[in-house]
Amino acid sequence: MENTLNSPQNLRPEDELQYIRKIIADSRAAFVEDGKPYIMWGLIVAIGMGFTYFSALTQRDLGVAWVWIVLVLFGWGYIIYYMLKKKKQPARAHSFIDRIQGAIWGACGGSIGLVVLLIMFNWHSDPLFGSINPLFICFISAMILGIAYFLSGDRK
């Protein structure tokens, strides 16, 4: 049997467990971030939801679709700025967990943006299949964010 970890073949079980614990501890330490993108997206969604709620409460069309489009574009702009700023910092070792987290948040963030844009541009324009009311953006965004937080949360 080939050993893929490049460690000696005749390790004791205690040493192997210690090695596995070290890998897990290093992965957890490498995963720690400042959380600014999460805070920014939380604020963006809160502003969008508040505006949507106020529009529904007053029963007026306050251009909710355009507000969401602007908010999503602002969020994407912030993420691009944040990533460019992060690239200027010294690189740290990337683990398998980093790639998983990047895939989860990239997929969920992209999905939210795509869903919001599709709902906004499809609103009142598809008589054959119907359309989704923009008021449901809050619900759909919350579901997708819930999936991302569940998948990336620390469950002990």
Convert the pLDDT of each residue in 36-88 to its tens digit. 887 898 899 889 889 988 988 888 888 888 898 899 899 989 989 998 988 88
Measure Cα distances from 124 to 39, 120, 133 in Å.
33, 9, 9
Question: Do residues 22 and 29 touch, judged by C-beta distance below 8 A?
Answer: no
Quote the CA–CA distance of 74 and 85 in Å, as a whole number. 16
| The pLDDT value given to residue 1 | 44
Measure Cα distances from 154 to 28, 30, 89, 102, 143 in Å.
10, 14, 26, 16, 19
Convert the pLDDT of each residue in 78-137 to its tens digit. 989 998 988 887 766 667 777 888 899 889 988 988 888 888 777 666 666 667 777 778
| The pLDDT value given to residue 78 | 93
Region of 130 (left: φ > 0; alpha: ψ -120 to 50; beta: rest) is: left
Predicted TM-score (pTM) above 0.85: no
What does the radius of gyration of the chain's CA atoms come to, in whole angstroms? 22
Sign of CA dihedral 44, 46, 52, 58: negative
Q: Is the pLDDT of residue 31 over 60?
A: no
Quote the CA–CA distance of 113 and 119 in Å, as a whole number. 10
Burial (Cβ within 10 Å: 0-12, 13-18, ≥19) of residue 148: buried
